[in-house]
Structure 1
Amino acid sequence: MIRRTLLLSTALLLTACQSYDVNRDYDRTRDFGAYRSWSWKEPALQYSPDDPRIKSDLTEQRIRDAVSQQLDQRGLRPATNGKADLNVQSWLIVDERQQQTSYNYGGGYWNGYWGGYWAGPPYTETRTYSYKVATIQVDMYDTKDGKLVWRGSAEQIMNSAPPSPAEREAAIRETVTKVIEQYPPR
């Protein structure tokens, strides 16, 4: 019973963490209405850590497609003549994190209908859970001065089981949508 309670509480904790943690920052002095076109700043996608298990041409293409689609929906068009208003660069960051959870058992005296009983000495169990968090970050630079004018990122806990290609694509599209949905800033 205790084991089932521990598993249930852990599952609820991890399920609660499945939402996105979205962050955005921008230069308030910029006129975002003046930006009409964009191009990729090379390299278009950077990885952190620089790990061959994370790097993938397939992942890069999925992120490029998702970013392009979101920018297009916001009225930004790919530069056709090589003169873009914005340079865009993305990051895929994977962090290893840990969380400790403590559970208290026993200890105390209860008085019931048939008399009281002693539950024994208190006992605390602490467990450490390791998990990975993936962050997709999108940076936009003004091409006139090369300064960062807008940054958005979203992080999400990665599933322990590897996703299928369709699940990867859907997750990337959803994450990039969350990152860019507040562009241009209001």
Structure 2
Amino acid sequence: MKVLNFLFAALFLITVTSCSSARSTTRQGVDLQQYRSFTLVDNDDTYLPQISKVHKSQIENAITTEINKISPENLGVTGADVLVNYFVVVDTKTDVQTYNDYYSRRWRNLPINVELTYYKEGTLIVDMIDAKTNKTIWNGSTSSVVTSNSMEVERTINKAVASLFEQFRKDRTPKS
């Protein structure tokens, strides 16, 4: 029975950590339906010191693609209703695995082995700001493990941005 509980807990943990979903907050009293045009805020290279120019470009391309899906008539618009800004945070995380050494039965208490694994987790935060009032109307974030494989990084960025904008589209639909 303990083995089944352990396997269920491990499966649940793997499922939760492998697909980090987008989280969002909409400013109270704001109707997201009223906003029709969006533009990406142009940030200089010192704004995001933790990521490379290539990754910055990939994030901006993914955001622009998603903006154009929301509002196809958005292309070339000046004076947009919403300014879209983003920020990236990369943290070093520690995964701790402990297990008993069942093969060393000479001692009364079984020794516990601890295995530490360090990895990087990136969090993408997207803010949508009302251009007239300069107040944030929507905020979304998603996190994922950062890999060194450049093709995988681009796929992860595209997937993360798509999940954030999917959440925005859900928040934008009128609640009945």
Answer yes or no: is 1:87 the counterpart of 2:83.
yes
Q: 1:163 aligns with which of 116, 138, 149?
A: 149
- The answer to whether the Cα contact below 8 Å between 1:21 and 1:156 also exists between their aligned partners in 2 is no
Question: Which consecutive residues of structure 1, in runs of 5 or more, have no partner in the other structure?
Answer: 1-11, 108-117
The more displaced of 73-82 and 145-154 is 73-82
The equivalent of 1:31 in structure 2 is: 31
Residues of 1 paired with 2:120 and 2:21: CA distance? 14
Residues of 2 paired with 1:41 and 1:104: CA distance? 52
* SS of alignment partner, residue 181 of structure 1: helix
| Matches for 1:140-159 after TM superposition, within 5 Å | 140-159=128-147
Residues of 1 paired with 2:121 and 2:62: CA distance? 20
Higher percent of residues as helix? 2
Q: 2:66 aligns with which of 70, 95, 120?
A: 70
Residues of 2 paired with 1:37 and 1:88: CA distance? 10
Residues of 2 paired with 1:13 and 1:158: CA distance? 21
Letter in 2 for 1:124: I
Letter in 1 for 2:130: D
Question: Which consecutive residues of structure 2, in runs of 5 or more, have no partner in the other structure?
Answer: 1-10
**How far is 1:23 from its partner?**
1.4
| Matches for 1:1-186 after TM superposition, within 5 Å | 16=15, 17-43=17-43, 46-47=47-48, 50-51=49-50, 54-56=51-53, 58-75=54-71, 77-78=73-74, 80-106=76-102, 120-121=107-108, 122-159=110-147, 162-164=148-150, 166-184=151-169, 185=171, 186=173
**What TM-score, normalized by structure 2, do the two folds share?**
0.76
* SS of alignment partner, residue 168 of structure 2: coil
Residues of 1 paired with 2:55 and 2:114: CA distance? 37
Residues of 2 paired with 1:81 and 1:19: CA distance? 35
**How far is 1:81 from its partner?**
4.9
**How far is 1:21 from its partner?**
4.0
- The answer to whether the Cα contact below 8 Å between 1:93 and 1:134 also exists between their aligned partners in 2 is yes
* SS of alignment partner, residue 33 of structure 2: helix
- Computed over aligned residues only, the root mean square deviation of the Cα atoms, in angstroms, reads 2.8
Residues of 1 paired with 2:89 and 2:82: CA distance? 22
Letter in 2 for 1:169: E
Residues of 2 paired with 1:150 and 1:76: CA distance? 20
Letter in 1 for 2:38: W
* SS of alignment partner, residue 137 of structure 2: strand
Residues of 1 paired with 2:118 and 2:21: CA distance? 18
Report Cα offsets for 1:128-162 as digits up to 9, x if no partner: 22110011211100011100111111101123xx2
Count, aligned residues: 158
Residues of 1 paired with 2:73 and 2:59: CA distance? 17
The structure 1 segments of at least 4 consecutive aligned residues displaced by more than 6 Å after TM superposition are: none
**What TM-score, normalized by structure 1, do the two folds share?**
0.72
Residues 43 and 170 of structure 1: is their aligned pair in 2 closer, same or farther, counting only changes over 3 Å?
A: same
- The answer to whether the Cα contact below 8 Å between 1:66 and 1:176 also exists between their aligned partners in 2 is yes
**How far is 1:180 from its partner?**
1.2
